[in-house]
Structure 1
Amino acid sequence: MAAFYAGTALADPVFSGITDDGQPYRVKYLGDTEESEVKPAVPFSPELLPTEGKPRVRLAAWVTDPDNRAFGRATVNRVWGLMFSRPLVDPVDSIPLDMPVPKVLDTLADDWSKHGFQIARLVRMIADCDAFQRDSRTDFEVTEQHEQAWSVFPLTQLRPDQVVGNLLQASKLSAMDSSSSVFRRLEAYGSKQNFLQLFGDRGEDEFESEAVTITQRLIMMNGELAANRTGVDLINNAATRIATL
């Protein structure tokens, strides 16, 4: 797959983008004394790959071909996982081609492909389904069977970006959104980036329910952001301002 990008180079000047220089992709295999040229190839369904055109254009056509179910399934599964904090199937991205999948996965993937791969439409479709609109609170004991059947909305950890977003919002009296001042948004952006750099992400354990490190717990208890947003500050902290009323 990397060979599809081998013939590209930064343009001069750099800000004008990238160009095609036609250079082949060469690799020195283990045990060989010289490099060998590697031709662009796809891991499956080679019949969907156009025979003519620029390498990256050919790859894009193969990826978005309606008969390439893998692309649609993987994207839908990841978007579903981001919205529910739990994917429809595991693994999240590398779904085996012969693996049985829930019907809803293929239904959403087909609709997404048919409508030009619009992420906004995919998000609306998922948000409009019954599973997304269900509550986590019930008047009965929730079992693993209920969660596996999506009978209740899954209780999961917040992602790091959601954690810092909630911390910042909790310390303000007004909503922080696109209508906020430029200065407030810049300040929030800087705080988020600093927090995420220290807190990190869950990597391959992104959708695991207990994927929290000791360092992350310490940052939440003793980190600079948590300390600043819970300290006595009449200007920046909503709790302090409310306490003085």
Structure 2
Amino acid sequence: MFALTHEEWQAVRLSLAVAANAVAIGLPAAIVTSLLLRWRSMPGRTILNIIVHLPLVLPPVVVGWMLLVVFGIRGHVGQFLHEWFGIRLVFTAAGAALACAVMTFPLMVRAIRLSLEAVDAGLEEAAGTLGAGAVDRFFTVTLPLMTPGVISGAIMGYAASLGEFGAVITFASNVPGQTQTLPLAIFAALQTPGGEAAAARLALISIVLAVAGLLAGEWFSRWSGKRLKS
């Protein structure tokens, strides 16, 4: 019942790798986007905020289809990457990571924004009066104070990526050993006669990983809160 086959282990390992790559792709962009959204007088701030949060309200299949349109072999960006650099994202593990990054991007931005809003603007102004430039203020004051939100966003993005299904299967397909992540492997097992036991094993692993991610996020949130108060 609980012994995983080679193919099932492949799905688990691929899920962990795809989730890690999704965070690596999305987190830097989430930091920059959060800083832009903090700038209340920025032109187009409302539009940017809507675009950032679209993946939360759109069906994941729609997000996957939009990725196909943009990054597919015949898409403007996808065709450029393929012809000039030999990079193909569609139906690859890299494409699965991109799909997960897009779907979890709003979660990372929200976590970082909450941390940014808690940053005391007076500390940044004080650093400025002492001669620190904008870059110095960011790296010496803003970034250390927003780090808990960055780490929390990375944890939540990683955990959510482990469960992403719709956008991944639409953009990256369901190829065993290449793009078949844990949710896709569960789906494939349920479509196979007699695959209920395999689906149960993989579902149990998925639950364990999800709970571990939530516990890690909760623990870090409490730890960072205590550290900021001390």
Q: Where on the TM-score scale, by shorter chain, does this alignment land: which range?
A: under 0.3
- TM-score relative to the length of structure 2: 0.25
- TM-score relative to the length of structure 1: 0.24
| Structure with greater strand share of residues | 1
Greater RCO structure (CA 8 Å; 6+ sep): 2
